[in-house]
Amino acid sequence: MHSYSWLNLIMFATVVALAAFLYIKPSLQEEITYKILSLPAEAVQQIRIDRQDISIELTRADNRWYMKRPVQGRVDGVKVGRILEILSATSQYLLPLTNPDRYGLASPVIQLRLNQELFSFGELAPATNEQYLSTRQQVFLVSPRFAAALSVLPPDLLSSRLFAEDEFPVEFTLTNFHLRREQHWQVSSQHHEYSLSQDELNQWVQAWQLAQAIYLTLDSAKPGTNGEEIIIGLRDGRKIRLIVEQNESELTLLRVDEGIRYHFPSSISKLLLDPYSIHNGQTVFIE
């Protein structure tokens, strides 16, 4: 082969290699991601959310989450998990925090503190529709869903279960009905037409224990003067006082020790307030 043929072959190979490099390089750059923070979710013991005039503080105790501020109560662990998803977030953009005003971070929309780690959420970037997030003097672009998980009212984070998992009712005092568990359930009632079996009583108690509200509100007003009072004794000796408030559309139970109103559909009202509805063949549905 002549020398010029070798030269042409080398030049051709060089052009092909250069074209391949230019084709592959952008793809490699697109795959570069930056981890926001290396902190396992299990290590988080304190959460604070600050936005406008609302501050929410959560704390972990015995592997369960509780709200300390602005109200005290049990927190839904699934919703806390959504907040902690920020710990596994990555970004394709990493910038120094040299001009906070440029990113809307001088006055953040929302701030999140996990233990001592502070996350500040700023404006949306028009080009990518992602949100500026700063932490540890660095700026990232992340999905707006992380800030959306923080844009909730305090009751939205609370557990919708009327009772905690470790709260086991062993005594019920309602108007004209008293139930207490010794070796078996013992009933005192003014209802003389028939008696309830142990299975029916267990079913009714389970309906209470698993009762889950459709939404919650904080106790901002005095309960109705005509509301029935229900006292429920727990296995650990504590007593839970409930005030019944109901109308045609819903049943509301104010749990006095928490200052939280649990709102249920009217269809569950008869089941919880009348244990003899079990005897009449009413099926238990707790959602």
C-alpha–C-alpha distance, residues 32 and 28, integer Å? 7
| CATH code of the domain covering residue 246 | 2.60.40
Confidence category of residue 33, pLDDT binned at 50, 70, 90 = confident
Range of the domain at 234: 169-277
Question: Which residue has better confidence, 54 or 6?
Answer: 54
Confidence category of residue 284, pLDDT binned at 50, 70, 90 = very low
Query: What is the reported pLDDT for 208?
Result: 94
pLDDT at 47 over 80: yes
Which tens digits make up the pLDDT trace of 191-239?
666 788 899 999 999 999 999 999 999 876 555 546 789 999 999 999 9
Whether residues 38 and 111 share a domain: the answer is: yes
Whether residues 148 and 41 share a domain: the answer is: yes
Whether residues 146 and 179 share a domain: the answer is: no
Point out the domain boundary residue: 124, 157, 190: 157
Instruction: Mention every residue, 6+ apart, whose C-beta is less than 8 A from residue 98.
Output: none
Whether residues 141 and 71 share a domain: the answer is: yes
171-177 LR contacts (CB < 8 Å, sep 24+): 171/231, 171/232, 171/233, 172/205, 172/208, 172/230, 172/231, 172/232, 172/233, 173/230, 173/231, 173/232, 173/233, 174/228, 174/230, 174/273, 175/228, 177/275
Q: What angle do CA 269, 272, 277 make, to 5 degrees?
A: 90
Point out the domain boundary residue: 98, 133, 157: 157
Taking the mean position of all CA atoms in its chain, how far away is CA 269?
A: 26
pLDDT at 12 over 60: no
Whether residues 197 and 135 share a domain: the answer is: no
| Residue 78, SS3 per DSSP | helix
Residue 221 lies in a domain: yes
Query: What is the reported pLDDT for 140?
Result: 93
Residue 175 lies in a domain: yes
C-alpha–C-alpha distance, residues 93 and 34, integer Å? 7
| Residue 232, SS3 per DSSP | strand
Residue 223 lies in a domain: yes
pLDDT at 167 over 90: yes
Adjacent-strand bridge partners of 263: 215, 252
Residue 13 lies in a domain: no
- Its sign, for the CA torsion 49, 50, 56, 57, is positive
Whether residues 185 and 73 share a domain: the answer is: no
Residue 44 lies in a domain: yes
Residue 283 lies in a domain: no
For a pLDDT cut of 90, what percent of the chain falls above it? Answer: 54
Residue 253 lies in a domain: yes
Query: What is the reported pLDDT for 285?
Result: 42
Whether residues 230 and 115 share a domain: the answer is: no
Whether residues 115 and 182 share a domain: the answer is: no
Count the helix, strand and coil residues of the chain and give each as a percent rounded to the nearest 5. Answer: 25, 35, 35
Adjacent-strand bridge partners of 113: 48, 118
DSSP state of 64: E
Instruction: Return the structure tokens found at 273.
Output: 């307030």
Mean predicted lDDT score pLDDT of the chain: 85
pLDDT-wise least confident of 106-110, 218-222, 266-270: 218-222
Question: Which residue has better confidence, 248 or 81?
Answer: 81
Point out the domain boundary residue: 157, 189, 220: 157
188-192 LR contacts (CB < 8 Å, sep 24+): 191/276
Question: Which residue has better confidence, 128 or 50?
Answer: 50
Whether residues 153 and 220 share a domain: the answer is: no
Whether residues 212 and 237 share a domain: the answer is: yes
Whether residues 115 and 176 share a domain: the answer is: no
Number of domains in the chain: 2
Whether residues 221 and 134 share a domain: the answer is: no
Query: What is the reported pLDDT for 219?
Result: 74
pLDDT at 120 over 50: yes
pTM beyond cutoff 0.95: no
For 204, phi and psi rounded to 5 degrees?
-65, -45
Asked if 153 and 220 touch (Cβ cutoff 8 Å), the reply is no
Residue 137 lies in a domain: yes
C-alpha–C-alpha distance, residues 56 and 2, integer Å? 80
Strands 138-142 vs 169-174: parallel, antiparallel or unpaired? unpaired
Taking the mean position of all CA atoms in its chain, how far away is CA 87?
A: 16
Query: What is the reported pLDDT for 176?
Result: 85
